[in-house]
Amino acid sequence: MFSLRPTAIALTFGAATLASAGVMAEDVHYNQVSVRAEVNQEVQRDLMTVTVYTESQNTDPAKLAAGITESLNKALGEARQVKEVTIRQGSRNSYPIYDDKGQKITGWRERAELRLESPDFAALSKLTGELLGSDMKMGGMDFSISDPARKASEDTLLKNAVTAFKARAQLVTDALGGSGYKLVNLNLNTSGYPQPYLRAPVMMMKAAARSDAAPTPDVEAGTSQVSVTADGVIEVAIP
């Protein structure tokens, strides 16, 4: 689901020599150093989200609403047949249409959305193609990282970030001629996990095997680079 790749690890020195609080038995002086380590992964986007909508206009708002409801219910019925797809009803709104002078209402326009989500790209792509072949239109398509995949990659990155931080801390200690170090503080931050947002779809439509077959969107989810940064301060014991 995801792959780990080597990454450069950044290091920042923020030397601040501290005066000894008192003469210690071992006569050890401590120095604080800021250390930063970052690890990255390419994580597969494994969750597909599609928004389809129906939109129409009519001089009679009641007939307009009835028509939109009929189209929406038809799409819902088709979507419910696909168990791999999670269905959420999106926004539904209507607004008046005015004449050229903007004074008189000449009709009404209404739009209703369905939000479809699934880790099964093939099933959702097929359903999308079928819905686009009826009364629905494409509102947007996007890909994101599911919660299980996010947690798995994040757990791995956290461990790797701590390991990288410890290696850098020891490297700093050795470079300064220290006899050891102790951790003062450590902060771990994650970034790069995409939040789903719908955008205009960029897709190719496969040629239909039959003239009456609904085209299926050919999709490619891609990956997202995610990272965990370990920022901390160590105290190096210098004899």
**C-alpha dist (Å) from residue 7 to 41, 68, 87:** 9, 52, 39
CATH number of the domain enclosing 138? 3.30.70.360
Q: What is the CA radius of gyration of the chain?
A: 29
Domain contains 185 = yes
Domain contains 214 = no
The DSSP letter of residue 213 is S
Q: Are residues 127 and 99 located together in one domain of the fold?
A: yes
Question: What six digits make up the tokens of 8?
Answer: 């450069």
Instruction: Kindly indicate the confidence band of residue 219, based on its pLDDT and cuts at 50, 70 and 90.
Output: low
Q: Are residues 133 and 62 located together in one domain of the fold?
A: yes
- Reply yes or no on whether the pLDDT at 143 is more than 80: yes
Residues 140, 143, 145, 148, CA torsion sign? positive
**Domain count of the chain?**
2
- Select from 109, 144, 179 the last residue of a domain: 144
Indicate yes or no: pTM above 0.85: no
- Reply yes or no on whether the pLDDT at 200 is more than 70: no
Q: Are residues 126 and 139 located together in one domain of the fold?
A: yes
Domain contains 201 = no
63: phi > 0 → left, psi -120 to 50 → alpha, else beta; which? alpha
Domain contains 215 = no
Domain contains 200 = no
Structural domain for 174, as ranges: 2-43+148-193+225-238
Domain contains 125 = yes
| Residue 215, pLDDT score | 53
Q: Are residues 105 and 55 located together in one domain of the fold?
A: yes
Q: Are residues 12 and 38 located together in one domain of the fold?
A: yes
Q: 103-137 pLDDT, tens per residue?
A: 899 999 999 999 999 999 999 999 999 999 888 99
List the Cα angle 171/169/42 in 5-degree steps. Answer: 100
Domain contains 212 = no
Domain contains 163 = yes
Torsion angle in degrees (nearest 10) through CA of 203, 204, 209, 212: 60
Q: 51-97 pLDDT, tens per residue?
A: 999 999 999 999 999 999 999 999 999 999 999 999 998 899 999 99
Residues 209, 211, 212, 214, CA torsion sign? positive
Question: What six digits make up the tokens of 166?
Answer: 């410890």
